[in-house]
């Protein structure tokens, strides 16, 4: 299975998530609406076959699933 590739905007959002920023803070930093951040997160979840921010963080931090 080929690992997913991320768009530049998805990468920016991932970096902000790793810095523990809220959706509101990410939106302000990137100059986009909070809804746009939520939409991008939904796209990331679909791309990775997950359903939550917690699952995304586990993948990003490579934590084993319980």
* Per-residue pLDDT at 62: 85
Q: Which CATH number do you get for residue 51? A: 1.10.10.10
- H-helix or E-strand spanning residue 27: helix 23-30
pTM of the model: 0.84
d(CA 49, CA 4): 11
d(CA 44, CA 5): 10
Number of domains making up the chain = 1
pLDDT range class, residue 1, cuts 50, 70, 90: low
Please answer whether residues 40 and 10 qualify as being in contact, where contact means their C-beta atoms are separated by less than 8 angstroms: yes
* Per-residue pLDDT at 64: 55
Q: Pick the more confident residue, 4 or 51.
A: 51
> 66 lies in a domain?
no
Residue 13: name the closest of 4, 5, 1, 22 by CA: 22
Note the pLDDT tens digit of each residue in 12-66: 999 999 999 999 999 999 999 999 999 999 999 999 999 999 999 998 888 555 5
> 3 lies in a domain?
no
Q: How far is CA 2 from the centre of its chain?
A: 19
């Amino acid at each position: 299975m080929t690992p997913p590739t991320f768009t530049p905007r998805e990468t920016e959002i991932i970096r902000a998530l790793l810095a523990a920023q809220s959706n509101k803070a990410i939106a302000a930093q990137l100059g986009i609406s909070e809804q746009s951040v939520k939409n991008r997160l939904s796209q990331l979840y679909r791309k990775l076959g997950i359903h939550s921010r917690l699952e995304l963080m586990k993948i990003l931090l490579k934590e084993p699933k319980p």
